[in-house]
Amino acid sequence: MDDAPILICYDGSAGAERGIEAAATLLNDRRAVVLNVAPPLTTAESYAMLGPTPPDFEELNLASAREYAQAGADAARRAGLTAEAYADLAAPTWEGVVDVADEIGAAAIVIGSRGLKGASELLRGSLSHELAEHAGRPVLIVPPARSHP
């Protein structure tokens, strides 16, 4: 496990950027795999599939995931990490992240948190909490920056 990579979840958000910064500060001696997991189909795309000649949404979503993963790997390299991009499709997202972590033998998963609380968290879900519950390995959840009064 000493040479196992870290898995960094990246979606282009400020939280994901903070996750990269934390990984570079705390885990900079490890190789990083920067992951974006997209859904195979969104709800809107599911309806569009009923049309006469729907586009290949899975391929479009995977291409988008690759772009996000590459942007995240580039950001990780700028932060001083040795990083590679990895993209996947999965629903629910946490299962895709856990599957990739298992596949690469990740030492830990790093994820930025949106800082949702209460009803917002229940309605929008929390990938970080799902990962902490299901990953079976350390999960570094990086909170949003503190807002100073």
Structural domain includes residue 148: no
Residue 141: inside a domain, yes or no? Answer: no
What pLDDT score was predicted for residue 121? 42
Q: Is residue 46 part of a domain?
A: yes
- Evaluate whether residue 149 is within a structural domain: no
Which CATH number do you get for residue 98? 3.40.50.620
Q: Which amino acid is at 101?
A: A
Question: In whole numbers, what is the pLDDT of the chain averaged over residues?
Answer: 86
125-137 pLDDT per residue, tens: 589 989 999 999 9
Residue 144 included in any domain: no
- Per the structure, the count of domains in the chain is 1
SS3 64: helix
Residue at 139 is within a domain:
no
The pair phi, psi for residue 61, each rounded to 5°, is -65, -40
- The reply to whether 147 falls in a domain is no
Residues in the chain: 149
Q: Is 1 within the bounds of a domain?
A: no
Structure tokens at 60: 């479009």
Q: Residue 102's domain spans which residues?
A: 6-134
- Report d(CA 88, CA 70) in Å as an integer: 12
22-57 residue pLDDT tens: 999 999 889 999 999 998 865 555 545 556 666 677
Q: For residue range 103-115, list pLDDT tens digits in order.
A: 999 999 999 987 6
What is this structure's pTM?
A: 0.84
